[in-house]
Amino acid sequence: MIKVPLIKLNDGNSIPQVGLGLWQITDEKKFSKAFNAAIEAGYRHFDTAQAYHNEAYLGRAIKQSKISRQEIFITTKIAVQNFGDKKSRKSFEQSLKNLDISYVDLLLLHFPVPVLRKKTWLTVEELKTQGLTKSIGVSNFTPRHLLSMEEYAKELPSINQVEMHVFLQQSKLREYCSKKGIVVEAYSPLAHAKAMDNQVIKQLSDKYNKSYAQIMLRWALQQEVVIIPKSVNPDRIKENIDIFNFKLSNVEIDLLKKQDKNLRTCWNPELVP
């Protein structure tokens, strides 16, 4: 079983550097199979969201695994339609019921919803004070959205979960977050499997005898971000965490830097006011 390093957050808590992404896993049998394969491989961090409609699957899978709550890191996210003070609180109470737990490890605002994101952030801060979530953060926030938070936030987010991979390296955003002590969490670290034909990655895959996906994930690890690759395939789940026994050289990292092509496979929050 692979032991995943922890990354320290600005609030004193820590997050396992690799987690299993759970978006688009809507069949409970597939979910349980993926969860069990992940636990066996060493994953202890799971990334769900209200919008994924699988919080209850995660809750049941954790109970069945008999692994103690303290050993597992759970993230959920307030869905766009649940923004607002009362609505976000109520929806989060429902998330805890779905998950059948008394707290989550990380609660994120899923998207920088205009106007309502301020009230929602203040609510999420209260939920943290009440011990219902250990850490709080945001997702899909650009430096502009983060900067405007400084006018109203009592505390800055611990995490900003954004699309990031070799083909969307997010250098400016990462530089900004690093200055503010915000850890970047890379979603779609495999570019949603939409760009699996890059020659440089193929060459590195041959050199290290690692898969194309493992080279992409290793690149992200060496950027010191958290990664949450998704798979429902037990072999790929194992493969995606087996990335701690080789290291890309500085020259190779420089070569991969040149592969950035601003490829977005999800949404683009840059235009959100």
Ligand X SMILES: NC(=O)c1ccc[n+]([C@@H]2O[C@H](COP(=O)([O-])OP(=O)(O)OC[C@H]3O[C@@H](n4cnc5c(N)ncnc54)[C@H](OP(=O)(O)O)[C@@H]3O)[C@@H](O)[C@H]2O)c1
Rule CB under 6 A: is residue 16 a binding residue for ligand X? no
Residue of closest CB approach to ligand X: 21
* Residue 196: Cβ within 10 Å count: 13
Interstrand relation of 104-109 and 73-78 (parallel, antiparallel or unpaired): parallel
**Chosen residue from 236, 243, 252, 256 binding ligand X by CB under 6 A:** 236
Q: Give min distance, CB of 88 to ligand X, in A.
A: 16
Q: Give min distance, CB of 249 to ligand X, in A.
A: 22
52 is annotated as an active-site residue: yes
Q: Which stretch binds ligand X (CB under 6 A): 17-25, 114-122, 141-149, 198-206?
A: 17-25
Q: Which stretch binds ligand X (CB under 6 A): 37-45, 81-89, 149-157, 225-233?
A: 225-233
Rule CB under 6 A: is residue 140 a binding residue for ligand X? yes
**Chosen residue from 21, 59, 137, 157 binding ligand X by CB under 6 A:** 21
Residues 92-121 that bind ligand X (CB under 6 A): 110
The CA R_g of the chain, rounded to the nearest whole Å, is 18
Q: Is the dihedral of CA 250, 178, 4, 53 positive or negative?
A: negative
How many helices and strands, by DSSP H and E, does the chain display? 10, 10
User: Could you give the CA distance from residue 123 to residue 133 in angstroms, rounded to a whole number?
Assistant: 12
| Helix 28-41 with 234-241: angle, nearest 10 deg | 40
What lies within 8 Å, CB to CB, of 137 at 6+ separation is 106, 107, 108, 109, 157, 158, 159, 160, 161, 182, 185
What lies within 8 Å, CB to CB, of 126 at 6+ separation is 89
Q: Give min distance, CB of 90 to ligand X, in A.
A: 21
Q: Give min distance, CB of 187 to ligand X, in A.
A: 3
Q: Give min distance, CB of 86 to ligand X, in A.
A: 23
Rule CB under 6 A: is residue 80 a binding residue for ligand X? no
**Chosen residue from 213, 221, 225, 226 binding ligand X by CB under 6 A:** 213
Rule CB under 6 A: is residue 229 a binding residue for ligand X? yes
Binding stretches for ligand X (CB under 6 A): 21-23, 47, 110, 139-140, 161, 187-193, 211, 213, 228-233, 236, 239-240, 266
User: Could you list the active site residues?
Assistant: 52
